[in-house]
Amino acid sequence: MLYIRLHLVNLWRFMKNTLYKSNQLIDIVKRVPLDRIFLTTKELHYTYNDIVKLSNQFKSENPSFIGRKCAVISDDRESLALYLPVFDSIFHTILLLPKDAVEYEGIFLKSAEIDYLIHLSAGLVSRIVAVSKVQVEHANESSTYILATSGTSGVPKLASYSLDTLVATAKSDINQGKNFTWGLTYDINRFAGLQVYLQSISSGSTLVIPSISATMTELITLFSRKSVNSLSGTPSFWRKLLMAPSHGALQLKRITLGGEISDQSVLSALSQRYSSAVIVHIYASTEAGVGFVVKDKKEGFPVSFLAHKPDLECQLKITNGNLWIKSTKGCSKYINGNLDIDSEGFLNTGDMVKIEGERVIFLGRQSGAINVGGNKVMPEKVESILEHHPSVAMAKVFSKTNPVLGSIVACEVVVEDSFKCLSLAAVKRDIFSFCKLHLESFEVPVLLKRVDSISINATGKKARN
């Protein structure tokens, strides 16, 4: 009898800790011992109980928000981290607005049928603006999150997810979770940052949030002081961290890489430096969600991942050199566009791959987009700026592999006859200065080569590799 009772208690604990399904983020927060630290910055900290209290207060002050749709824009990361469970507990839908997409704000609010726009600053709600005249209360199902894709050209797409989908891959053992402290290196309004945030909450861990303006040395000092042992970042973030003399101060148990192609150099360097850490690189995108995780510390992924196993949550195939993915954890729909999905339900990731022996290796984007340390650059945009410069007759922009940022922007230009008397150095200086006026710093070409001609293919487009 005692055995059965113990068994039942263990089963209940197991279900509570690992099989928990929740409709609202605040339900996940309430599972955690309330005196545990939820988030901490250099100066402040909040317990899980602080979040529950904040949520109750906001709910009682704003009953008219129940079931409505809101968009949130935050001046800093910690304010959003603090208020996300609060808004999730009352609103039906939360659109996380990136700060760098202000020009599309109106389009986003309209296409996602947003009722309220909420501004956050310094840990407070600084402004709430009603943006729709007709407000409809939506049924209380699993909360919906809308994220903007990091657009390469045109209006960024809005991808919609249910909370259940977003936390599907998160570990949820709150007993184990007390042993993990996560450092945040991403914005929470981007997919990778939201994943780290939700992982930390799901397992009742502490999230350490550095100031956006913190240098790498300041970030390491804060993470080390707060005993951060789990960290997720882009390969470019990790390379920069390894260049900081103080990186040895971090005692890391779990290292995650994502957002760019993880090359063997950075994986090897991390496994040498943090030999006892679990190191994984994640294949994820705003569209596909978390696709798969590679744990063997090698670049690419094993060809065995391509084997057709209908019971898997994530299936992969290669068609015409592109990786296609079928995942139950992807976004449910685009609000303002169509997903490229085939008749079998596979989504085109737009990532070009090749098989080398037993490994599938990533080659870059089908669109030609260049990933400069996690920032996407469209060659056509840069070419258009270059070709506006009086000395440039024609330009071709392409990616060049780089050990610091993964890739950089390089270009070839055909110089107008009247400028051919100038030295290459003078041409370069003038063109780069011009580009800096019209492009983001990571979009400005680093290398420039003067050529006599640029080849055009049969369809009249510049030949790209």
CB of 206 to another protein, least distance (A): 27
Shorter beta-carbon distance to another protein: residue 316 or 372: 372
In the numeric block, which tokens belong to residue 97? 């607005």
Burial of 266 (0-12, 13-18, 19+ CB in 10 A): buried
Provide, rounded to whole angstroms, the least separation between the CB of residue 99 and another protein. 20
Nearer to another protein, 193 or 374 (CB): 374
Binding to another protein by residue 136, rule CB under 8 A?
no
- Applying CB under 8 A, which part among 104-112, 333-341, 390-398, 438-446 lies near another protein? 438-446
Q: Say if residue 205 is exposed, middle or buried (CB neighbours under 10 Å; 0-12, 13-18, 19+).
A: buried
Q: Which two tokens stand for residue 77?
A: 């990361």
Give 208 or 241: the residue with its C-beta nearer to another protein.
Answer: 241
Give CA–CA dist 330/315, Å, rounded.
12
Contact with another protein (CB under 8 A) among 9, 11, 102, 269: 269
- 389 lines the binding site for another protein (CB under 8 A): no
List, in order, residues 6 or more apart from 157 with CB less than 8 Å away: 148, 149, 151, 286, 287, 334, 335, 336, 337
**Interaction between residue 243 and another protein (CB under 8 A):** yes
Asked if residue 442 binds another protein (CB under 8 A), the reply is: yes
Strands 144-148 and 158-162, bridge-based pairing: antiparallel
- Cα angle: 456, vertex 462, 465; to 5 degrees: 110
Distance of closest approach, residue 75 Cβ to another protein, in angstroms: 23
Q: What residues contact residue 185 under an 8 Å CB cut-off, 6+ apart?
A: 196, 210, 219, 231, 232, 233, 234, 237
- Say how far apart CA 256 and CA 196 lie, in whole Å: 10
As a dihedral over the C-alpha atoms of residue 455, residue 456, residue 461, residue 463, rounded to 10 degrees, the angle is -50
Pick from 279, 223, 232: nearest CA to 251 = 223
Nearest residue to 116 via CA among 150, 160, 65: 65
Cβ of residue 215: shortest distance to another protein, in angstroms?
A: 7
- Residue of the chain from 63, 310, 403, 460 that contacts another protein (CB under 8 A): 403
- Residue 436 near another protein by CB under 8 A: yes
363 near another protein, rule: CB under 8 A? no
Residue 328 interacts with another protein (CB under 8 A): yes or no: no
Tell me the window of 23-31, 45-53, 301-309, 397-405 that interacts with another protein (CB under 8 A).
Answer: 397-405
Does 405 bind another protein (CB under 8 A)? Our answer is yes
| Residue 453 makes contact with another protein by CB under 8 A | no
The residue within the footprint of another protein, chosen from 18, 121, 153, 264 (CB under 8 A), is: 264
Q: Does residue 361 belong to the site contacting another protein (CB under 8 A)?
A: no
The reply to whether 66 sits near another protein by the rule CB under 8 A is: no
Q: Which residue in the set 100, 168, 402, 451 belongs to the binding site for another protein (CB under 8 A)?
A: 402
Q: Which two tokens stand for residue 201?
A: 């909450």
Is residue 240 within the footprint of another protein (CB under 8 A)? yes
Q: How far is the CB of 183 from another protein (least distance, A)?
A: 18
Q: What is the DSSP code (8-state) at residue 141?
A: -
Can residue 212 be called a binding residue for another protein (CB under 8 A)?
no
CB atoms inside a 10 Å sphere around CB 278:
13
Query: What is the contact surface with another protein in residues (CB under 8 A)?
Result: 215-217, 236, 239-240, 242-245, 264-266, 268-269, 272, 372-373, 400-405, 408, 410, 432, 436, 441-442, 444, 446-447
